[in-house]
Homo-oligomer: A and B are copies of this chain.
Amino acid sequence: MKKRLRKETRVSDRRAPLHLITPDKFRDQCAVFGISGHREASNLTYLGLYALQHRGQESSEIVSSDGEHFFVEKGMGLVADTYTKREIKHLKGTKAIGHNRYSTAGNSNLRNVQPLTVNFAFGNLAVAHNGNLTNATILRSELEAYGAIFQSDSDTEVIVHLIAHSKGDTFLNRLVEALSLIRGAFSLVFLTDQDVIAVRDPWGFRPLCLGRFKDAWVVASETCAFDLIGAEFIREVEPGEMVVINDKELTSHRPFVMPERPAKCVFEYVYFARPDSKIFGTSAVYPIRKALGRQLAKEASVPADLVIPVPDSGVPAALGYAEGSGTPFEIGLTRNHYVGRTFIEPEQSIRHFGVKLKLNAVPDVLEGKRVVVVDDSIVRGTTSRKIVKLIRQAGAKEVHMRISSPPIIAPCFYGIDTPTQKELIGHSHRVEEIRKYITADSLAYVSLEGMLNAAPGRKDHYCHACFTDQYPIPLTKEEVLQLGLFETPTSSS
């Protein structure tokens, strides 16, 4: 879910992290998890969220139900730091859903932590959201005109108000009516007093997987959550599918008018998902990343003594590049994994300080060498520039940057917190200009065609709007303005 830009009330929360070291990467992904029909529902949700930690480290929340009451525990920070044994015990019942949220600077507080929980005319309701609605601001204004009072500034809350304002006579009818009104990306998991309900938008932007743990059904953003608890991966929740799970059985619904074709986020393969996860079907992420590296070698190999990854996300593509090009693979940059939540900058400027907090070059590997360095993407270019300088400072003779995705030229409206278009170096600069900026001897990106070739299945079933400015859902002018990510409205129809 994505936050509204307007923000009127500032609640200070003392448990909030003071400062998180965030990468020069896309942010604001989230993880969802749900289980129905197991007496350890909350403990398994906890483990599922633990496995999905890479999709959101800012906050975490679990809501469980014993059929009568809801039980809620939440906190800022990592899953393993948020909950105590006593708290997990407190989460009674055989149904539970959970959510991890990524950090977005400044607005981090418990008020916006998900799942969102309300009590309304039909009883209790909780919802966890991965994605972003493109018409949330417009729907919110309409709902407010009807007297709705919003607790948070998240787009997710619009969904529960739509349900509450629906005139449907059953909860499912109301839910279907609400879903028919929202547009954008949503992998949603609902909890009611009776059921766990998982819904994926008709385009299938974000992944959502269905599994089986003994007699219970489980849903999760990625299959790595199933691996940890030992659940079996059954299949995806399909684009446009609504799955209703009560303790005993699962029923599948198709409440949406379907678009011509799905629009799965190809960037999940490039960067977001865990390499050991299966998403969008049966293929794991790792071999696809390697294939991206091999494709890169095919398209843009360069004579070099060694190829090194930007750890950790660049490792599979670097291995693929090594394989494809015959260049020896080495670890030339080491990563500090003990990053922690607050960091105090030194007063004076230490050269390339920011990147050094996480990466350090190994001169013994790099000295005198022609080095290819492989990363998954370039957003603003500032980190890449620092990495090139770090490698050169360690004695490399040549530094060639290779990127396992095409240049990012447009913001994402479907759940990833990109900077505004102006800040995207791929939008404002050509490749050769970027190369100069990052001070590399050469720079090459994998082509769109090449990237889509590496991904499994039909090429036109992926969303690649961030690389092509071609958005699967036409945006109205009003929506574009309210999302506020372009300087001038783009003709994205």
A interface residue numbers (CB < 8 A to B)? 8-12, 18, 40, 43-44, 46-47, 50-51, 53-54, 57, 68-74, 78-81, 83-85, 87-88, 90, 117-121, 123-124, 144-151, 153, 160-161, 164-166, 224, 227-230, 274-276, 283-284, 286-287, 312, 315-316, 319, 323, 328-331, 334, 336-344, 346-348, 350-351, 356-357, 360-365
- The docked-state distance in angstroms from the alpha carbon of A341 to that of B77 is 11
Closest B residue by C-beta to A38: B348
Residues of B within 8 A of A9 (CB): 69-72, 117, 119, 124
Q: How far is the CA of A414 from the CA of B342 in the complex (A)?
A: 34
| Pair A57/B10 contact, Cβ less than 8 Å | no
Structural contact, A344 and B121, CB atoms closer than 8 A: no
Q: Choose one: B8, B120, B356; the contact of A69 (CB below 8 Å).
A: B8
B276 touches A334 (CB 8 A): yes
Q: CB distance B10 to A69 under 8 Å? A: yes
Residues of B within 8 A of A72 (CB): 9-12
Partner of A347, one of B40, B53, B329: B40
CB <8 Å contact, B8 and A70: yes
Complex contact B124–A57 (CB within 8 A): no
Once the chains bind, are B286 and A365 in contact (CB under 8 Å)? yes
Give Cα A98 to B387, complex, Å.
29
Cβ–Cβ < 8 Å partners of A323 in chain B: 328
Query: 10 closest A-B pairs (Cβ-Cβ)?
Result: A80-B340, A147-B165, A53-B338, A284-B364, A121-B144, A147-B164, A78-B340, A276-B334, A9-B70, A276-B360
A47→B347 CA distance, assembly (Å): 12
Are B284 and A346 in contact, with the CB atoms below 8 A?
Answer: no
A79 adjacent to B120 (CB under 8 Å): no
| Secondary structure dominating the interface of A | mixed
- Knowing A144-B120, A342-B81, A346-B44 touch, does A331 contact B275 (C-beta < 8 A)? yes
For the complex with contacts A120-B150, A149-B161, 9 further pairs of A-B residues with Cβ separation under 8 Å are A9-B69, A43-B347, A51-B360, A80-B338, A80-B340, A88-B344, A149-B160, A228-B350, A315-B331
Distance A121 CA – B140 CA, assembled complex (angstroms): 9
Chain B residues near A164 (CB-CB < 8 A): 144, 147-149
The distance in angstroms between the C-alpha atoms of A346 and B54, with both chains bound, is 21
Q: Min CB distance, A53 to chain B, in Å?
A: 4
* B276–A361 CB distance below 8 A: yes
Q: Which residue of B lies closest to A230 (CB)?
A: B350
User: A147: which B residues are within 8 A, CB to CB?
Assistant: 120-121, 146-148, 161, 164-166
Nearest Cβ distance between residue A449 and chain B, in whole angstroms?
23
Q: How far is the CA of A40 from the CA of B346 in the complex (A)?
A: 8
Among the listed B50, B70, B149, which residue makes an inter-chain contact with A120, where contact means beta carbons less than 8 Å apart? B149
A475 to B319, CA, bound (A): 49
Contact partner of A70 (CB less than 8 A), chosen from B10, B230, B284, B357, is: B10
- Given A119-B8, A120-B149, A338-B54, A331-B316 contact (CB < 8 Å): yes
* CA gap between A51 and B358 in the complex, in Å: 9
Q: Cβ of B319 and Cβ of A150 under 8 Å apart?
A: no
A84 near B344: Cβ-Cβ < 8 Å: yes
A192 to B57 alpha-carbon distance, docked (Å): 35
Residues of B within 8 A of A120 (CB): 144, 147-150
Question: How distant is the Cα of A357 from the Cα of B87 in the complex, in angstroms?
Answer: 20
**Are B81 and A340 in contact, CB atoms less than 8 angstroms apart?**
yes
**Smallest distance from the beta carbon of A465 to chain B beta carbons, Å?**
28
